[in-house]
Structure 1
């Protein structure tokens, strides 16, 4: 053994888990992904995993030591989850608004047909379902319609006795009473949100740890500004809303399509998962998650993963490119990493303080990517190693999609909940030795 190797081994524990696993990151993952040269083609890559029902008796495959059951099935395109303080679980049944202006052109038509084949073409139910308790088989004891008549609802957040719901076009507030199984009040519109064509329609909302501010995601109205920047005002951003004053502002921008948001328990920093742009090749551009800095710009549309210029965007803006911040952690190209939450419970200590990321799966990459729930370990508030599989098997050997992961949450018992909008199921993940019922 050379002295150089001996020194490296001695230093390795001091460098932390990221250094120990530096060579084990999958392509397009981690804090320093190798990015290939962009590839352009006249016809975009279409590789749709056709949506099919789960075959009788099948379910996703949990990682070793874990078990999975269907907490609720027979749902209608469940997209997002929110766990109330009393343990009730809210499920937003939602899809793209049916009355939104449609994008024009052959490319938009082809992509629309592909997404329909992938299970994204159903009408929006515009409802929120409430799940409560457990039956002996581990399914929800109560499944009722909690709210209806919404407009493509997605994110939900409770602050005091106010339940905030982020619709596709506005943030609304509704009165909530602990234990209620329905809300029929009209509610109050809090904030109009950019809508229109709604290339990216999902709007998420989370409350700050002190309950004083709300943060709302607004995706871009295009892939890479091909519809012009005029319609992108206020989009590709995270907004901050001050509850006391009613004032709002853009908190961070250049985020093509932010979805998942959560506050990291050790640092209290806001993190988000972001879907990056398409049509630059199978391995460009990786989706990512990142700590969100106040006033920061993350590149879209002018550049990606820092200051890698997207030559398709005209005119360019060198000043904005120079400002672009490199995201903290790449999540693989075209994985459609939608859900993201930090695990702060005690039931599965191997996940403590790390991030759970749900990957809806690609429709425009060969081979497919995503279609899984992964865990990214954190140390001292920062990602510290390669992703670990939590739940897979959503993509069958015949390359049909039996499910597509979306929202992810942690219930009051510490179990992990995952919304599957193709399987129309909410899956529940626990230690393999744990009874699938309530807390002991």
Structure 2
């Protein structure tokens, strides 16, 4: 990936996270500024990335992939940051995953040559866009999910006028009853496979199977329900007619979000076919992890003897804000809200407190219990001697809805000096 032009993007005080007094400068120069978060050089609220945690997570996850013989196409919707895509690909990712055609276009524009659209591809404009990419770039390798005959007909209808240089590769998506998209049972999958085998292979070509296990009903109480779900997908793959994948170099079998990927990988690894099987995970949140839902899921995996994931990922995202008001005993307000932090899952958890001129101090008992557009409501205990002007760092839950609130995020070292930055495209 060539990010030279992106690194020349001009930033100034109109950009959230950049000091109001900053004259316009290219992103490439941000490390020369000498800015430090603890010195109050940057405005707050501020979402930042810790370099050491990013590096730790990449190393730990790569060790897991290598030791289990797995491939990775991380879900780019988590960050939508070409800078982070480049790091993931540089660390050995097989490709990237997207959720929308717009995301595919962003990835390709910045040099990603293999993309899995983990969603149904339908609609005239969307098919025209994908066909244009295939026709313009002979190196572009594209996959999408397929879960119905109606979708297949829609794809063929809108691809035909564009005569793509290579067929769109499709992965039959298997879903769960009561879950999200995807074929619900073996009979449906085999019927769609039969129809797919008879269509114009210059337009659409079978390439494998896929799923998203995170929507299996009941896994909040028993994650091992995914084991049977994944085993059923392997059985469907074994039942597919060999003629469907005749001539393929490999059979792609993909699953694995960021919470239960190990269960899926353990089951998918049992599939043997006449051609090589690539077990492809699409975990996206591993790169930053979090301090909420994903941390809870991984702690749960480590404590379960039935699970193969036993490693620790670190939260790389931190949301910093000032204590702006203490209007009542036991109540504090922070200068961050729904425009700045995720709130669709768990609310942020305060875990660091810094007082300018003094240093780090204990957080004490503190719970964010509500948010408005620009405020966080915090219930504090008697042991939390917060003052207006204190700087509070909170861990977030769900990175996917953290990055989308920031066009720019600084990367800091362990002393909170800004050494780099990333841009996002939402």
Choose between structure 1 and 2: higher helix proportion.
Answer: 2
- Asked which structure has the greater CA Rg, the reply is 2
Choose between structure 1 and 2: higher strand proportion.
Answer: 1
Give the TM-score, by structure 1 length: 0.27
Give the TM-score, by structure 2 length: 0.28
